[in-house]
Amino acid sequence: MEINVYPKKSNQLPSYLLAILVHSNQVGMGVLGFQRFVAKEAGHDAWISLIVAGIAAHLIMWIIMRTLSLYPSSDLYGINCDVFGTWIGNVLNLLYMTYFTMITMAILRSYIEVLQTWMFPKVSTWSFALVILGLALYTIFGGIRIITGFTFISLVFTVWVILDMYFPLQYARWSYLYPVLEAKLPQILNGSIAMSFTMVGFEISYVLYPFLREKQRASVSAQLGMLYTNLIYLCIMIVTLTFFSKKQLMQAVWPTLNLQQMVYMPFLERFEYIIIPIWLLIILPNIMLYTWCVSRGFKRMFNWPAKKTTTLVLVTIFIASQFFLTRTHINAMVDFASRVGLYVVFAYPPFLYVMASLKAMWRKKRSGGHEHESST
């Protein structure tokens, strides 16, 4: 495998678009129900846990960008092989690709569950999965530029979600936030850990980096995209904590959808019936970007055609999604994906950065030694 890769100019993206890609891949199914999991650990100090998790995510993003800057134009797959060798590197690459596939399946199955619970209880899982994955497949075939164009649409709808918070905010009870810092430090940290599944998504920067033109601006762009995501989560969390009591919040499976029931329009009684179908436009970029990252891995390691590997990945996800039919099974899958994501996204990048830095220092020292020998 070539460590560095240089895509054609026609496939490259301006660096500022990385902000949109990172943000869109972070906002998905997690935003519908993350409040309950965080509040279960940290109580009404859950907003503090969210800030801590956001700071940790920014730090990891900085580490990811520092790792990528050690190479002219490499990605996760190339760096793993360069640092650990071909065999171990490819094993790590396959594990990362398995993680991408698992997260994609968790997003797909969670969204189908929302559709079946709120709108279409009698429609089968396979029919929803077929339509959603078919749309994703059609767009992925267009390449990363087409995916990026579609992803821009989700940016518009996340702004809409924030504006909708005005309606439940009118009934906010700010006393629910007091007393501040009642939760102990371990509880706040556990709440931050509970945000892991919701915060993941920015790790796609590892794979997107070679496709960016002005790579020196990539870090700032990625951080801005993540900051926008964290502000959205913080606003939703504060509105949720001031609207629901803790007992009510613990009984709400999808608190964000419950908040949408407060949206009043004279011509529309059930606003959540509009939000749920539109949410497909928000989760599709997640499915497309993760699947593209997997197919990119097969292309880098085995030089397999992108269209065939994309089809294979989505067919695998379609088949696997049929085995998770109950709420218990879906929760178990999402919980497992959250635990894996905590290690893959928050633990592995610092380790890889240290190893890549040592490899860069060794390479520099070795080249310097050769120059000294040649001069004498």
101-157 pLDDT, tens digit each:
999 999 999 999 989 988 888 888 899 999 999 999 999 999 999 999 988 877 777
Which CATH number is 83's domain given?
A: 1.20.1740.10
Describe the chain by its helix, strand, coil percentages, rounded to 5: 80, 0, 20
pLDDT surpasses 90 at 318: yes
The count of structural domains within the chain is: 1
Is residue 244 in some structural domain?
Answer: yes
Q: Residue 354, Cβ neighbours under 10 Å: how many?
A: 13
Cβ atoms 202, 56 nearer than 8 A: no
CA angle 135, 140, 143 (to 5 degrees): 150
255 pLDDT higher than 90: no
Average pLDDT, the chain: 88
pLDDT value of residue 374: 41
**pLDDT for 265:** 66
Q: Indicate whether 46 belongs to any domain.
A: yes
| Confidence check: pLDDT of 267 > 70 | no
d(CA 35, CA 195): 9
Between CA 58 and CA 319 the distance in angstroms is: 35
| Domain, as residue range, for 108 | 9-352
Say if 376 falls within a structural domain: no
Q: Considering the entire predicted model, what is its pTM?
A: 0.92
Task: Tell me the CB-side half-sphere exposure of residue 344, using CA atoms within 13 A.
Answer: 27
In a domain, 374, yes or no: no
Is residue 153 situated within a structural domain?
yes
Report residue 376's pLDDT band, with 50, 70 and 90 as the boundaries: very low
Share of the chain above pLDDT 90, in %: 50
Q: Is residue 370 part of a domain?
A: no
Query: Residue 367 domain-assigned?
Result: no
In a domain, 298, yes or no: yes
> Could you tell me what percent of the chain has a pLDDT over 70?
95
Return the pLDDT at 341. Answer: 86
Distance CA 126, CA 135 (A): 14
